[in-house]
């Protein structure tokens, strides 16, 4: 009876988009969610998720703050020119800022979306907090004795 009630009334109103597009699962709620969105027209965008809209458990749209567009055509042109010299262009240099505070995407125009969860600048997650999060997600029966948590310091600009 409980399974039927949960399936019929509870789970049908819960969307997986909330924990994916917010810092809901993270100890530090100041964590940001960065999205790389490939649109159906082949254009790649990047920004910080600020809001998302769900209707009947289905993603309807998403807002990105500080949006950028990837200039793939220029990258390919430069890559072909530099290949002759045995060099490769810096992929990060081809992101162009869009003069807007936020950009809205209709879900039906999104072909693919990659999400990156970034803690606030300068903050490093506490190892014990990460271990607790893994146990919470994977279940208490998980043995965490053999789990190694490695924190990699992000590269500094100019290095």
Domains contained in the chain, number = 1
Q: In angstroms, rounded to a whole number, what is the distance separating the alpha carbons of residues 89 and 78?
A: 7
In this structure, the chain runs to a length of 159
What pLDDT is attached to residue 40? 95
Structural domain contains residue 60: yes
- Please compute the mean of the pLDDT values over residues 3-23 and round it to a whole number: 70
Handedness of CA 97, 102, 108, 111 (dihedral sign): positive
Structural domain contains residue 152: no
List, in sequence order, every residue forming a beta bridge with 114; answer none if it has no partner.
36
Structural domain contains residue 29: yes
Q: In angstroms, rounded to a whole number, what is the distance separating the alpha carbons of residues 150 and 127?
A: 9
pLDDT of 119 higher than 60: yes
Structural domain boundaries, residue 42: 2-122
Structural domain contains residue 128: no
Q: Model pTM?
A: 0.67
Q: How many CB atoms lie within 10 A of CB 56?
A: 8
Which CATH number covers residue 50?
2.30.30.100
Question: For the segment 27-59, what is each residue's pLDDT rounded down to a tens digit?
Answer: 677 888 999 999 999 999 999 999 999 887 789
Structural domain contains residue 72: yes
Task: Give the side-chain half-sphere CA count within 13 A for 56.
Answer: 0
Structural domain contains residue 151: no
Structural domain contains residue 131: no
Which three-class secondary structure state does DSSP give residue 145? coil
Q: In angstroms, rounded to a whole number, what is the distance separating the alpha carbons of residues 19 and 25?
A: 6
Average pLDDT, the chain: 81
Structural domain contains residue 127: no
Nearest to 67 by CA among 107, 101, 29: 101
Question: In 115-125, which positions are buried (b, 16+ CB within 10 angstroms) versus exposed (e)?
Answer: eeeebeeeeee
Question: For the segment 49-88, what is each residue's pLDDT rounded down to a tens digit?
Answer: 999 998 877 899 999 999 999 999 999 999 999 988 889 8
Which three-class secondary structure state does DSSP give residue 58? strand
């Amino acid at each position: 009876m409980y399974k039927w009630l949960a399936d019929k009334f509870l789970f049908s109103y819960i969307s997986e988009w909330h924990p994916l597009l917010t810092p809901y699962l993270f100890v530090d709620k100041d964590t940001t969610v960065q999205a790389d969105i490939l649109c159906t027209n082949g254009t790649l965008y990047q920004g910080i998720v600020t809001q998302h809209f769900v209707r009947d458990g289905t993603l309807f749209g998403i807002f990105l703050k500080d949006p950028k567009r990837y200039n793939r055509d220029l990258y390919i042109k430069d890559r072909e020119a530099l290949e002759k010299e045995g060099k490769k262009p810096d992929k990060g240099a081809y992101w162009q800022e869009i003069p807007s505070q936020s950009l809205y995407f209709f879900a039906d125009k999104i072909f693919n979306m990659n999400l990156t969860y970034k803690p606030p600048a300068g903050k490093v997650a506490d190892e014990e907090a990460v271990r607790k999060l893994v146990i919470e997600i994977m279940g208490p029966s998980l043995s965490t004795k053999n789990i190694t948590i490695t924190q990699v310091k992000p590269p500094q600009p100019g290095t």
